[in-house]
Chains A and B, each alone.
Chain A
Amino acid sequence: MDSSLETAADREHLRRVVIDPVSRVEGHGKVTLLLDEDDHVREARLHIVEFRGFEVFIQGRPYWEVPVMVQRLCGICPVSHHLAASKAMDRVLGIPVTRSAEKLRRLMHYGQILQSHALHFFHLSSPDLLFGFESEVGKRNIVGVAAAYPEVARQGVLLRKFGQEVIRATAGKRIHGTGSVPGGMNRHLAVEDRDALRAEIDHMVEWSRAAVELVKRLHRADPALYDEFGRFRANVMSLVRADGAMDLYHGALRFRDADGKILVDKVPDQSYRSLIREQVKPWSYMKFPYLQQLGPDEGWYQVGPLARVQNCDFIPTPLAEAERREFIDHGRGEPVRATLAYHWARMIEMLHAAETIRDLLGDGDLLEGALLADGERGNEGVGIIEAPRGTLIHHYQVGDDDLVTMCNLIVSTTHNNQAMNTAVREVARRYLDGRKLTEGLLNHIEVAIRAYDPCLSCATHALGKMPLMLELADAGGEVVDRVVRD
C-alpha cells in the first residue's frame, strides 16, 4: 500500500497548512499539509488530537457498571458501546442470552444504525454532495439543505428521530440508556411503543429507499467525481454471519484483500487478538491496527459500510439486497473503492436497518419471554459489534472480585485510521498539489474524511458551525495567507 506523503524528508523547510478542526465530523481532529515552494504537497496527515483514557478508568470498576459507563464514550453511537460491552460481559458470565433479549438488543442496534446513518448522510454530508465541495460555504450545511431541498431534509430529520425512538423504546432513553445488562436485557418492548413504531416503519423503509436513490442519482450525474475521488486499494474487514449474510449485531470476522479475495474467514470474535495488531505512530493519539499476517505496511484495512456491503455474501432483507447487487455490479467485477461510495453503501445499510426493524416489530418475543439466563462465570470476554462506523471491539478481563482488571477497546474509527490518512493523501495529491489553496479546495480533504463518518473522540457531538482558520506560512514561519470561517 502507498505510504508516501506520510512523512516528508525535509520537513523543516516546508510550508505548513493546518485544517483545525475538521468540521462536520464527530469529535476533534486536524489535518496538516506540508507544501514545498512550488505548492506541491509533500506530507499530509490526519491527526486525532483527543485523548480519552477510558480503557484505564474502566479498570477497577464492577463489571455490571461497564455497559452503562462505556457508552459515555459517544453521544452519537452510545448503543454500540453499550451492546459491545454487554456482549463481552455475557461471555464473562458464561451466559447465552435469551431469544427475547437478543431480539431486543438487535432492535436497539438497528435503531442505532438507522439514526446514525441518517444523521451522517443528511445532516453532515449531504451539503457537500448536493451543493458541491466548493459551493458557498455559508449555505453548505443542513439549514441550507432544508431551504433548497426541504423534503430531503425533512425525511432525514424524521428518519433520525424514528431511530432515536427505537432506542428509547428499548434502552429507556434516546441517548445513554440502560436497557442492556450483562447477560441480557432489563425490559421488554411496551405494546404501545411497538404500535407507535409500527405505524411509522413503512414510511421509514420508503424514505430509506429514496435516500439510496438520491445517492445513486448523484453517482450517475457525475461519475468522474464519484468513481474517482479518493479512490485507492485497501483490504476490508467486518463481521459476517455464519451463512455469509450481513449481520451488524453478531458474527465472525472476515477479511478480504484489495482485489476482493477472502484472506481470512470465520474467525470467532473471541479470537480477534490472533488477527489484529496495533501500531503506534508518534504524531497521532490514535493507533493504527493491521492484520497481523500482512504486517503494518500491507495489513491495514477499511471498516464500515463500504467494507461491510462488499464483505458479506448477501444482505438478508430483500430491498437492501437488491441495492447491494446493483452496487456490486457498479464495480464491474472489481471492488468499489471510491471514497464517496461510502455514502452509497451507508444508505443501503440504512435501508437494511429499516427493513430489519420492520421485521422485528412483528415478533412477539419482544413483548414477553425471559430476559436473563444463568451461566458459568469466567474471567474474560470479547464483544464485537458492527457499529455504524464499523467494527467495534470491546475486550475485558474481570477478577473473581467482580472488578475489571483489563479493558481493550478498538473503536471503528481506529480501524479506519490508515484508510482515512490514505484518503487525505490521495485527495491532496490529486486536487491540491501545485494549486493556490482556497477554503473550497481544502474542503475536498474534509469531504474525504467525512465519508468515513469518523467519530474522532467517540464523544458527545455538538452539531453546529465549527470555526475553521487556515494559515499558510512560508518557510520562515511568516503567515502569507489566511482563510477564516467563523
Chain B
Amino acid sequence: MGGKFLFDGRPVPFEEGQTILQAARAAGHYIPHLCWHPDFPPHGSCKLCIVKVGGRHVSSCALPARDGMEVESNTPEINGERRALLQMLFVEGNHFCPSCEKSGNCQLQALAYELDMSSARFAHFYPDRPVDASHPDVLLDFNRCIFCELCVRASRDVDHKGVFALTDRGIRKHLVVNAESGRLADTDFAVSDRAADICPVGVILHKRVGFALPIGERKYDEASICTVAMEKGE
C-alpha cells in the first residue's frame, strides 16, 4: 500500500516497497549517495544517503517509505554528517585529485564539492596500496577505493565472475582480486564487463585513456552531481 511522506517539508508520494531514496528521486528530490546504484539492490554501506526520520539517522536507500513519515535530508545537521563521512573517506585512501584522471567524472570529488567540503579535517592514513597494472586493458588503482562494493556486486551478480571482494575488517579492510596471485591478469575479467565501468571513483580505469577528455568538459564540470544524477538517472 502506497502513501505520502514529507521530504524536507514537501509531500512525496510512494508506492508499496519503495525506499525513501527511490520515492524521493521519483518525485525529483536528490539524496547524495555513493554505494547506491539504480541497477543494484540497496547496500547501505557508505551512509551518504542518511536522512533523519523521527529523530533517528537512517539509510534512505534501505528504509522503506511509510505513510506520514517526516524526512529531513537537506539540512545543516544531515549535510554536516555527510560531509564528515566524505572527509573520512578522503583520509582513509590516497585521493590526489589534481593528477587523478577521474577528476570531473568522480562521484566522491563531485559530492565533496556539492557538500562544501573544503578540508580533509582528519589526519590522513596514507595507506600503502600498490596499483595492479597486470591486465592489458584495465588498471586498478586501489588507492582510491571507498569500499562501495559496486564492482564486487557487478562482477558477481551481472558478469557472474566474482572477480572482486573486500577482505579484512575495520581499518584494514581493502579490495582484492579473486585470484591466487591477486593479479587482475590472472582472472577472466574483461574490459567489456559491467564491473569495468561501475566504479564511482578512480579505482577501475580503462588503460591509455587518461586525460583524452579535457578537464572542463567532464560530467560534473558543468553541472553539479545533484543535477547530473537526476538527469541521467544515476
Chain A interface residues (CB < 8 Å from chain B): 60-62, 64-65, 67-69, 72, 172-173, 176-179, 181-182, 186-187, 372, 399, 401-403
The total of Cβ contacts below 8 Å across the A-B interface reads: 58
Number of B residues whose C-beta is below 8 Å from A? 20
User: Which chain B residue lies CB-closest to A72?
Assistant: B98
- Closest 9 pairs between A and B when the two form their complex, measured CB to CB: A64-B210, A69-B99, A401-B133, A178-B211, A178-B215, A403-B133, A186-B214, A68-B99, A187-B214
Selected from A61, A64, A401, A402, the residue in CB contact (under 8 A) with B211 is A64
Which residues of the other chain, B, contact A187 by a CB distance below 8 angstroms?
214
Residues of B within 8 A of A403 (CB): 131, 133
**Contact at B215–A173, with CB atoms within 8 Å?**
yes
Docked pose: A186 CA to B218 CA in angstroms: 13
How distant is the Cα of A303 from the Cα of B133 in the complex, in angstroms?
39
Q: Report how far A401 CA is from B208 CA in the complex, Å.
A: 11
Do residues A402 and B215 form an inter-chain contact, with CB atoms below 8 A?
no
A172 vs B216: C-alpha distance when bound (angstroms): 7
Partner of A60, one of B101, B131, B212: B131
Q: Does B1 contact A (CB under 8 A)?
A: no
Q: For A68, what are the chain B residues with a Cβ–Cβ distance below 8 Å?
A: 98-99, 101, 210-211
Considering residues B99, B133, B205, which has the most beta carbons from chain A within 10 angstroms of its beta carbon? B99
Provide the residues of chain A in CB contact with B205, threshold 8 Å: 62
* B residues adjacent to A (C-beta < 8 A): 98-101, 130-131, 133-134, 139, 205, 207-216
Bound-state CA distance A176–B133 (Å) is 26
Name 7 A/B residue pairs within 8 A (Cβ), A-sorted: A62-B139, A68-B101, A69-B99, A172-B216, A173-B216, A181-B211, A401-B134
Q: Which residues of the partner chain B approach A401 to less than 8 Å between Cβ atoms?
A: 133-134
Interface of A is mostly: loop
Which chain A residues lie closer than 8 Å to B214 at the CB level? 172, 178-179, 186-187
CA of A62 to CA of B141, assembled, Å: 10
Contact A181 B210 (CB under 8 A): yes
Indicate which residue in A60, A69, A178, A402 contacts B207 across the interface (CB closer than 8 Å).
A402
Q: B213 near A186 (CB under 8 angstroms)?
A: yes
Chain B residues contacting A176 (CB-CB under 8 Å) are 98
A72 & B208 in contact (Cβ 8 Å cutoff): no
- With a CB–CB cut-off of 8 A, which chain A residues contact B99? 65, 68-69, 72
CA distance A19 to B216 in the complex (A): 43
Q: In the complex, which residue of chain A has the Cβ closest to the Cβ of B96?
A: A69
Closest to A64 in B: B210
Interface pair A65/B213, CB less than 8 Å apart? no
B101 touches A64 (CB 8 A): yes
Residue numbers in B under 8 Å from A402 (CB-CB): 133, 139, 207-208
Measured in the bound complex, the distance between the Cα atoms of B130 and A256 in whole Å is 46
Contact A186 B207, CB 8 Å, known A65-B99, A403-B131? no
Indicate if the CB atoms of A62 and B210 lie closer than 8 Å. yes
Q: Which residues of A contact B212 (CB under 8 A)?
A: 181, 186, 372
Contacts of B207 in A (CB 8 A): 62, 402
Report how far A459 CA is from B181 CA in the complex, Å. 40
Report the minimum CB–CB distance from A272 to chain B (whole Å): 25
Once bound together, how far apart are the Cα atoms of A69 and B209, in whole Å?
Answer: 15
CA distance A100 to B208 in the complex (A): 21
| Smallest beta-carbon distance A376→chain B, Å | 14
Minimum distance in angstroms from B132 CB to a CB of chain A: 9
Closest chain-B Cβ to A404's Cβ sits at a distance in Å of 10
The CB with the most chain A CB atoms within 10 A, among B98, B211, B213, is that of B211
Tell me, in angstroms, the Cα distance from A65 to B131 when the chains sit together.
13
Our pick among A64, A177, A399 for the contact of B215 (Cβ within 8 Å) is A177
Bound together, the chains give a CA A439 to CA B131 distance in angstroms of 52
Complex Cα–Cα for A67 and B212 (A): 12
Q: A64-B101, A69-B98, A72-B98 are in contact. List 18 more A-B contacts (CB 8 A).
A: A61-B131, A62-B210, A64-B209, A64-B210, A65-B100, A65-B210, A68-B101, A68-B210, A69-B99, A172-B215, A173-B215, A177-B215, A178-B214, A186-B211, A186-B213, A372-B212, A403-B131, A403-B133
- The distance from the CB of B144 to the nearest CB of chain A, in whole angstroms, is 12
**In the docked arrangement, what's the CA distance between A92 and B24, Å?**
51
State A113–B101 Cα separation when bound (angstroms).
27
Cα–Cα, bound, A402→B141 (Å): 13
**In the bound complex, how far is the Cα of B214 from the Cα of A372, in angstroms?**
14
For B134, the chain A residues whose CB sits under 8 A away are 401
Residue of B130, B205, B213, B215 contacting most chain A CB atoms (<10 Å) = B215
Q: Which residues of B contact A65 (CB under 8 A)?
A: 99-101, 210
- Chain B residue nearest to A186 in the complex (CB): B214
Interface centre among A60, A64, A67 (most CB of B within 10 A): A64
Given contacts A72-B99, A172-B216, contact A60 B130 (CB under 8 A): yes
Q: In whole angstroms, how far apart are the Cα atoms of A177 and B99 in the complex?
A: 10
For residue A317, give the distance in angstroms from its CB to the closest CB of chain B. Answer: 30
Closest Cβ of chain B: how far from A229's Cβ, in Å? 40
Find chain A residues with CB under 8 A from B210 CB.
Answer: 62, 64-65, 68, 181-182
Among residues of A, the one whose C-beta sits closest to the C-beta of B136 is: A401
Query: How near does chain B come to A107, taking the closest CB pair, in angstroms?
Result: 15
A172 to B218, CA, bound (A): 12
- The CA-CA distance from A72 to B208 in the complex, in Å, is 21
Bound Cα distance from A179 to B217, whole angstroms: 12
Closest to A403 in B: B133
Q: What is the bound-complex CA distance between A480 and B100, given in angstroms?
A: 52
**Chain B residues whose C-beta falls within 8 Å of the C-beta of A181 in the assembled complex:** 210-212
- CB neighbours of B213 from chain A (8 A): 186
CB distance from A122 to the nearest CB of B (A): 28
In the bound complex, CA of A65 to CA of B215 (Å): 13
Q: Once the chains are docked, how many angstroms separate the CA of A302 from the CA of B207?
A: 40
What residues of chain B lie closer than 8 Å to A64, measured between beta carbons?
101, 208-211
How long is the Cα–Cα vector from A85 to B139 in the complex, in angstroms?
21
